[in-house]
Structures are given as C-alpha cells and as structure tokens.
Structure 1
Amino acid sequence: MAKKLLLVDVDCGVDDAQALMVALAAPNVEILGITCCHGNSTIENVCQNVLRVLHVCDRMEIPVYKGASKPLLGNCLHADPYHGKDGLGDVPDPGAPGLELLQKEHAVLAMLRIASEHAGQVSLVATGPLTNLALAVNMDPNFPKKIKNLFIMGGNMESRGNVTVCGEFNFACDPEAAYVVLNAFDCPTYIATWEFTYKNYLPWTFHDEWIMQGTRKSEFMRKISAHSAKYTEECNSNPGEVWTAGFVSCDSYAMAAAIDESFVTGSIHCGISVELNGALTRGMMVLDTTDKLKKKNKVFVLTKCDLEKLKGLMMAALK
C-alpha cells in the first residue's frame, strides 16, 4: 500500500513535538518535509526543536525549512509559560544538532515546490500559526488545488479562548493568516479546535504510562513535557481556572486525523471565518452553521474522535 505523503508545518513546542513523533512512528506515512513558523517560540528555537525531535527519532534525513519569523501584521505572540522559553521545556541539550542542518530553501518556496511535485497527493498538516500557508497561497493562488487535504490544529468553536478572551493561540498569533487560509483553501479541510481537543482529553494515568516506557524517545518526552505538565497542574489548582481535566496533546489530534481517517467519528460541516476587528474577539474562529455567509468553501470542524486509536498512535510514537 502506498504511503500517505505529509507536509508538516509547525511552530515546534511540546505538543508539536508529540505530533511529529506520532507521524514519524506511523508505518503508513512518509514526511516529505517539515516547514517551521513563529509561534510557540522564536523561529530559531522552532527550527532547533524540530531538529532535536528528528535527532532523537533517528530521522535526520527529513528536510527542515525555516519560514515566517513573524505574523502578517502585528507583534509576535509566544507561549513561554506553557512550553518554556525555548519551546521544549527549557531542558539543556548540548548534543542537539545545529541550525546549519536546515535547508537553504525558504519554507514557503519549499511548500510550493513539494505541492507541485506531488500534485493532489500531499496532506498538509498545520499545527501552528498559519503564516506560511497564507504566504504560500498569496504567492500561488493555485497552491490549495495542489494539496490533497488540509488538517489544522487551531481556532475555536464556542468562543472560548486560551490566550485571549475569545482567541485560541494559533489563530490569535496571526488572525490575518488564518482568515486568508480559511477563505482561500478549497481542498478538503479538517480543523481540530481548542474545545475539541480539551473535551477529548486523555487520562493523566495514560500520560504517566506513556512517558515511562523506558526508551530513548520516552525519556526525551518525559524531560521536555515536565514544564507544561507542571504549568497545567498549577492552572488547575487555581479556583475557577481549570485548564483541562486531563492530558491534552492538542497538535496530535490533527496529526491523528491526517494519519488515520477512522480516527474522526464526528464533525460539523460548515463555512467558517475569522474575526479580525473585534476588541475582544479578534482571532476568534466563527462557525457559519446556518450558511448566512454563503461560503463556497466548507470545512469539517471535528467534534468526536476515537481516543483508543489516539492512544495507540501515541504509545507507538515513544517505543
């Protein structure tokens, strides 16, 4: 059986690393390239983090491309409190591969080239701000037609924010880019929103078993995820501020959907957009469930999934 061809765009923090390791371990997947974007940390840290993940997984042959260092408009937003200043839990790694191993080609140009070389065959998985994707479609309006399908972790469907009052982190990092992508991409598109991921949490007992498998990969994960696990615990201990009821690897949900179609068991099919102007709602994803916007491009907003399949993919990632 032919392998699924993936192009992965990340702002590599801890959950991006988890999603990447899920894909790297999947026998039915071939990653054609990893493009990097600002987001959880600076673009330099993001690139370094991707190289660290590939190094621990012995997959340094996969090309890594440096992309957008800031959003289309506005200032950069990073997630230091959750992911650490370096994006991977601030764990020293003197043996990490250097940035000289990055490809010379810019991430956006690599996206356009890979999509053209494998037209209609590539699944694009985006787990960070959508800046690179927006730049790509602005450079080549036919880019979305060359993509088989698009899987996004980002946005929200109930106006619950995790970084602003009504904004999910990835969309809030670059609302204009999210707006461009959701209005320009006409390939089948699947979105794992913030609410979808935290409602489909995994037990902390699973998390503890997952990172204690006694392998090089599980030890790497144990170290880099300690910072975010502690942050979640501290948030949950504050009255009225429950972060999540369990372990949530946000980006892994979008990756699981790309790897295994049967992972998704429920979705809403509708037009969506992104609010750009609201004082409190800028960056919020808007679901047009009554089709008032008459949008031609409809997307699948995920609502239900097979958590046992997710557990299997994640356990395999650290073996």
Structure 2
Amino acid sequence: MKKKMILDVDTGVDDAQAIMIALSSPHVEILGITCCHGNTPLENVLKNTLRVLKVCGRLDIPVYKGFSKPLLSNKRNAGDYHGKDGLGDVPDPDAPGVELLQKKKAAQAMIKIAKAHPEEVILVATGPLTNLAVAVQLDPSFPNKLKALYIMGGNTNSRGNTTVCGEFNFVADPESAYIVLDRYTCPTYIASWEFSCRSSLPWSFCDEWLSRKSEKAAFMKKITALSMTKAKSADYQKEVIAGGGFNPCDVFALAAAVDDDFIVEKEEVAVTVELNGTNTRGMMVLDYMELLKKEHKVFIMKTVDLEKLKKMLINAIK
C-alpha cells in the first residue's frame, strides 16, 4: 500500500528538496500540494512548486493556492537565504504558468482529500501553518481524519533563527502554529530547528550529491547555489548552525513521513506556542512539568538515520 500524502509548502530551496524526495519515493502517493506564504510571497511559492513538478515530470499532481499572509502577524519571508524568488534567483523562462493551479483553495482541498481517504492521509507541513489552522476552523473534525501530521518548525531550546527565541515557520504565523498544536490531535511529529542543526550533513556529501549528472541534479545545483554560499559563510555557521554542515530543514519532516524507521530517537511531550512575549513570541514551549494539562502530546525528533537521508537525497535527483 502506498502512503497517501498532502504536502503543505512555502516552496523555497528545502521545500523543493522535500517535494523531490516524495516524488522519488516508490511507496508514496502525493494526493495534492497546498501552498502557503513563507519563504517567499505566495505567488512565487505557486510558481516554484510548479517548477519543481515540471523538472520531475509530475505536473499531473494537483497544486492548490493557500493563504498569502498570516492570520494576525505581519508578513515575513526568507529572501536573504532562499533568494527573492525563493529558488535562488535563477528564473526559468519556460516555467509553467499558474493557470495549471486547481480552482479549489488549499484549506478546502485538504478537507476534501482527507474526507475521501479517512485516516489514510499523512499531512506534511514545511512552512507556516496558516492553511492548517484555517482548515481546522472550517472543519473541526479534519485532524481526526488524518493518519498523521509531520511538521518542520518550532524550536526546543529557545534558539531562534528569525527572532531571538523563534524559528521562522512558527514566527511567521504564531497564531496558526498555536491553533495547530492545540487542535490537531492526530499523531504529530515535529522536526525542530535545533534538531535539524544537530543533524546537518557534511559538506563533502553535499558536494558529491550536487556533482551527479542528471537534469534534476543540475536543477538542484542551480537553485541551491545562493543558499549554499550563505550557509557556508562564517557568520551563518557560527550564529545559526552551531556545528556546521548542510541543513536541509524541511527534508527531515518529509523523510520521517516517508520512512517509519527514519526516526531513531524521539520524545513525547505536550507543546504550545508563546503568543505574547516581547522576545519569545512564536517560540514553541515544551511542557515537561505537565502544567498545561494537555491530553495530546507530540513526538519531538531527537536523532534520525542520516544514511537513509543521504540515500533519499541521492534518489531524488537521479
């Protein structure tokens, strides 16, 4: 049986890597890709997602337009890392047009797909959680119809990459992150920022990976050039990565969804999101003392099988 998935993305470079891994996985069926603001403005996210599907020969997969801004916060993007267009500022003059998008909106599409496949669909969210928050508002039973939810976002040690204490996806829409972690009671797995930093891959692997000869490898090398340069800079390595190496953040959540044995060690704990702190708004809070009295707990990834990850990345660009 193939795993049925919905990918909710804000397609920058690491979302593109995650999408390509899912497309190359023989036991995965992508039922739809929903797009959200985040790494780059929504219009770019839509175009980028279609570009990735084109290079993989999978424009048959339905793509849905989601929300262009957070519920309450001011919009953010990560153009300094992913490029102003989200894919390294290397435009494709022959990129597919947005006329290929589905008419149905992202949140409604999520609900319809899950209803058609109750308790079979895995939702992988690698951007701000706005689409997910609206979906549960529209249909409170939606999370119960999911098999599982995998999120790249949040942090566990108050180490930020956007604000002093906040990770980008959660800071980009703290209210949505709060709603999702409060109302999604399906099995939930989180790849946090600090975890992804600790799980970085050696640059030597990255060089080998991008040296492969294929159309997909050439595409990946081209769109990652800007972010790789940024990631290798001394300031970025010292202040953000704290350990060095290639950190394909979003890929961790997708890989865990693809392979049940990818996660080697995890911890189960109730979580929430801080909404009011001057320095901590958007920070994920782990309730080890169980003071929140929440019945639902999430699984926080601690360690994973990095050799499996390398194989997934290699297969994605063959």
Same fold (TM over 0.5): yes
Alignment deviations for residues 235-262 of structure 1 (CA, whole Å, 9 cap, x no partner): x247953535000100000000000010
Structure 2: runs of 5+ lacking an equivalent: none
Q: Within 2, Cα distance between the matches of 1:303 and 1:286?
A: 16
Structure 1 runs (4+) greater than 2 angstroms displaced = 236-244
Residue 61 of structure 1 aligns to a residue in which SS? coil
Alignment partner, residue 190 of structure 2: 191
Aligned length: 317
TM superposition shift of 1:39:
0.3
State how 1:172-183 maps to structure 2 within 5 Å: 172-183=171-182
1:261 counterpart SS class: coil
Pick closer, same or farther for the CA change 1:216–1:239 going to 2, 3 Å. Answer: closer
Identity, % of aligned pairs? 59
Which shifted more, 267-276 or 236-245? 236-245
Tell me what 1:130 maps to. Answer: 129
Measured in 1, the distance between the counterparts of 2:236 and 2:119 equals: 48
Q: Quick one: structure 1 residues 242 and 10, their matched pair in 2 at CA, closer, same or farther if it must change by over 3 Å? A: closer
Aligned residue for 1:145?
144
**Hey, what does 2:257 align to over in structure 1?**
258
Q: Does 1:12 align with 2:18?
A: no
Matching residue of 1:79: 78
* Contact 2:22 2:28 survives alignment (8 Å): yes
TM-score (norm. length: structure 1):
0.98
Alpha-carbon distance change, 291 to 36 in structure 1, aligned in 2, over 3 angstroms: same
The answer as to whether partners of 2:73 and 2:174 remain within 8 angstroms in 1 is no
Match of 1:241 in 2: 239
* SS in structure 2 of the partner of residue 293 of structure 1: coil
Q: CA deviation at 1:108?
A: 0.7
CA RMSD of aligned residues (A): 1.0
Classify the secondary structure of the residue corresponding to 2:164.
coil
What whole-Å deviation, never above 9, does each CA across 1:124-151 have from its counterpart, x for those lacking one?
0000000000000001000000000000
Quote the residue 1:52 is aligned against: 51
Do structure 1's residue 93 and structure 2's residue 92 form an aligned pair? Answer: yes
**Distance in 1 (alpha carbons) for counterparts of 2:199 and 2:308:** 12
Tell me the alpha carbon deviations over residues 142-192 of structure 1, each in whole angstroms, 9 at most, x when there is no partner.
000000000000000000000000000000000000000000000000000
Matched letter for residue 241 of structure 1: E
| Alpha-carbon distance in 1 for matches of 2:14, 2:270 | 27
Provide the rounded CA distance (Å) in 1 between the counterparts of 2:232 and 2:206. 13
| Alignment partner, residue 226 of structure 2 | 227
**Does the C-alpha gap of structure 1 residues 176 and 113 become closer, same or farther in structure 2, counting only changes over 3 Å?**
same
For structure 1, list consecutive stretches of 5 or more residues without a partner in the other structure: none
CA distance in structure 1 between the aligned counterparts of 2:85 and 2:230, rounded to whole angstroms: 15
Question: 1:277-317, CA deviations, whole angstroms, 9 ceiling, x for partnerless residues?
Answer: 00000000000112111101100011010000101111100
**8 A Cα contact 2:230 2:236, kept in partner:** no
SS of 2:261's partner is helix
Partner of residue 110, structure 1: 109
Q: In structure 2, what is the Cα distance between the partners aligned to 1:179 and 1:242?
A: 24
